[in-house]
Structure 1
Amino acid sequence: MVAIGRVAVSILIPLVAFLVLWGGFLFLRDSNAPQSIIAIVAIIWGVGGVALLFLVADWLVNRTPLHVARRLQPFVFVGPALVILAWYLLFPTIRSLYLSFFDAYSKEFVGLANYIFAFTDNKMLEAFVNNLLWIILGTGGAVGFGLLIALLADRSKLERGFKSLIFMPMAISFVGAGVIWRFVYAYKPPGEDQLGILNAIVTFLGGEPKAWFTMQPWNNIFLIVILVWLQTGYAMVIISAALKGVPSTIIEAGRIDGASELRIIRSIIIPYIRSTIVTVSTTIIITSLKIFDIVFTMTNGNYGTEVIASMQYKQMFRFYHYGRGSAIAIVLVIAVIPVMWYNLRQFGKQEGF
């Protein structure tokens, strides 16, 4: 009788948890309640649902034999997250791959026509070139400045405060950064008060105000500056942590041998932290490949500033050509996968896997 009761409870508790979560989902999906009420319910349902899921999973694992629990535990606790990732990442990717072989209305099969468009259209070729520019200058600038600042600030008295100041832009979203930098690059015709900081300085020095966003190809570089501003703090923090692991005895031995500081950096420090620099670089490369927010908020892809993601957005939501938009999205995914794989491989080497 006791065994039957345990089985019943083991079935009842997960069932109740599922019904509670499913009921909350249906309410959020179909409710006509005010937005404020829906937002409150969503927060409570989200936090409470995760807590309930954890408690139920923990309860089930603790009531299984030890040898089974050890094998089951990782899947029980990581499983829900993997399901959510599959639902929100894997399924849309498969769906996009399917749609990429169809026309604008997702009805007629067109084969590779959308991919041919992606690699032959003039605007797409412009986007590929611009993304390459973002990768080279954005990654090089962020990693270069991050490395330089990490070296200069390492073990100095003002290290914490200085690094906090440089890292601060990381707290700003890409859209927020775009809005901020619009005021830096803002342009008014000659004779009017300049709202943009950059043009205010130019006119103060006796020059003519410039419409920075229309100055091709320099306008791409002006946009890349924003990415460098945002990512330098990230590169600096990661590289700075790696610098702490460089044995001071090796550096002192180099100084005793008469090596200059530049030679020590080039021959000792850089080789020692090379894997960290590569990891940081690949992470920023992925960010550069997916760049969209800055371009969208600053120029909307005009004046020769299109990137792959902005072209995908326009094909999907401006021209409503779901086939081309999906094909461009798949091209972007394919471009990111090798860099992501290499990044994961580097993490594996660092962790000793």
Structure 2
Amino acid sequence: MDWFLDAETTPHKLALMVVAIALFAGVMALILFAVDRPKRVPSWVVAAGFCGPALLLVTIGLIYPALATIWNSFRGPDLSRSVGLDNYTAIFTNPGLQGVLGNTVLWVVLVPLISTAFGLVYAYVVDRTRFENLAKTLIFLPLAISGVAAGLIWKFVYEYRPDQAGISQIGLLNQLMVWLGLEPQQWLLNQPWNTFFIIAVMIWINAGFAMTVLSASIKAIPDDMVEAARLDGVSGIQMFRYVTVPAIRPALVVVLTTVAISTLKVFDIVFVMTGGNFGTSVVANEFYRQSFVQANQGLGAALAVLLFVLVVPIIIYNVRQMRLAEEVR
């Protein structure tokens, strides 16, 4: 049995996958067969049959790893001894980790605000125009691209080559610089501006999400509200400020918080473009580096816990705002 579970070859892995699927299907069939007898089986058994597997998987896949991560955050690099709060102290006192926290704050402030602002203005401007569908499609397309692909695309945009005879620039941005008679720049190496250039990639991706959600909210504004505002002499910027924005406030909150959560967890873009080097690392990237590159599992676990603590208040605020919106309706 051990040789089967420790299989390394492709056929053995496929066989293990088939056996696992078959076992899962067999267990689920047994549960459904057992609970599909309402006259013979108590209701609590039926509830346990349907909810039990899901609760078991949640416990194994989420609750246990979360508790283990919290426990490991108070231990040393190899998890062999307890270090108390040393890992958390290091996060807030180590100059390198302070820079990571500063970058993360910068990401969480700029990406949601700029993405949402751009998506809102764009959705309002193209609303009910002749080329609305095409305009929205162009902004939405980056959202369909994975973070890794987006990072690779923009890494080529920022590509730098020495400005020497016989060497041409292949990066779009540096080629534009050459055409304008300016010197090409190492966009991803020069601190602190390299962080802003990477942030631009995340904004490019999330602007489509913001535009899509806010466009739907704008179209849901009652026509009588708009007509009443026009009869009162409201138009142009005033219509946008005093009618559109207040009417879609719940959607704005959802977009801001959703983008903020995805920004807190950003890893792929930073990893692909700079690997977290040159002062561009963020919490999620530093968690990976400490845990799997530096082999400091205790500090890595502490960074994971910090990331969780930062996300929870945003989720709570989002849920609270959604409940308030439902009460208003």
Q: TM-score, normalised by structure 1?
A: 0.83
Matched, 1:203 2:164: no
- Cα distance change on mapping 1:86 and 1:171 into 2, 3 Å: farther
CA distance in 2, matches of 1:322, 1:80: 31
Q: CA deviation at 1:306?
A: 1.6
How far, CA to CA, are the matches of 1:161 and 1:66 in structure 2? 59
Which residue is equivalent to 2:144?
A: 171
Q: Which residue of 2 aligns with 1:34?
A: 9
1:117 corresponds to 2:90: yes
Which amino acid in 1 is paired with 2:38? Answer: T
Alignment: residue pair count: 326
Conserved 8 A contact 1:126-1:304: yes
Deviation at 1:154, TM superposition (A): 1.9
* 1:232 maps to 2:207: yes
1:64 lines up with 2:38 in the alignment: yes
8 A Cα contact 2:5 2:16, kept in partner: no
CA distance in structure 1 between the aligned counterparts of 2:40 and 2:133, rounded to whole angstroms: 47
Inter-partner Cα distance in structure 2 for 1:301 and 1:307: 7
Deviation of 1:116 after TM superposition, in Å, equals: 0.6
2:289 maps to which residue?
A: 314
Which segments of 5 or more consecutive residues in structure 2 lack a partner in the other structure? none
More helix by share: 1
In 1, the alpha carbon distance for the partners of 2:191 and 2:178 equals: 21
**Any idea what SS the aligned residue of 1:212 has?**
coil
Aligned counterpart for 2:61 among listed residues 49, 74, 88: 88
Alignment of 1:1-353 (within 5 A): 30=5, 32=7, 34-35=9-10, 38-39=13-14, 42=17, 46=21, 58-65=32-39, 76-77=49-50, 79-191=52-164, 192-350=167-325
1:122 deviates by 0.7
Task: Tell me the residue number matched to 1:13.
Answer: none
C-alpha distance in 2, partners of 1:44/1:202? Answer: 58
% same residue: 36
Distance 2:326 2:40 in 1: 28
Report the alpha carbon displacement of residue 270 of structure 1 after superposing the two structures with TM: 0.7
Farther-moved stretch of structure 1 (170-179 vs 58-67): 58-67
Tell me, yes or no, if the aligned pair for 2:118 and 2:207 is still in contact at 8 Å. yes
| Cα shift at 1:73 | 6.8
Contact 1:28/1:38, CA 8 A, preserved across alignment: no
Distance in 1 of aligned mates of 2:236 and 2:28:
53
Separation of aligned partners in 2, 1:233 and 1:80: 37
- 1:123·1:306 contact (CA, 8 Å) conserved in 2? no
Q: Matched residue of 1:213: which SS?
A: coil
Specify the SS of the correspondent of 1:277: helix
Q: Structure 1 residues 64 and 233, CA, compared in 2 at 3 Å: closer, same or farther?
A: same
Counterparts of 2:132 and 2:253 in 1: how far apart (Å)? Answer: 24
In the alignment, structure 1 segments of 5+ residues that lack a partner are: 1-25
State the Cα distance separating 1:128 from its structure 2 match.
Answer: 1.0
Q: What are the Cα deviations for residues 62-107 of structure 1, in whole angstroms up to 9, with x where unaligned?
A: 42259966x8777654553443233222221111111111111211
1:229, distance to aligned residue in structure 2 (A): 0.9
Q: Could you tell me which amino acid in structure 1 is paired with residue 290 of structure 2?
A: Q
Tell me which amino acid in the other structure corresponds to 2:169.
Q
Report Cα offsets for 1:250-306 as digits up to 9, x if no partner.
111111211122111111111111011011101111111111111111111222112
**More deviation, 58-67/316-325:** 58-67
**Over residues 289-348 of structure 1, what are the superposed CA-to-partner deviations in whole Å (9 max), with x where a residue is unaligned?**
111111111111222112111221111111111111111111111111111222233344
C-alpha distance in 1 between matches for 2:143 and 2:47? 32
Return closer, same or farther for 1:41/1:165 CA change in 2, 3 Å cut-off: farther
C-alpha displacement of 1:244: 2.0
TM-score normalised according to structure 2 size: 0.89
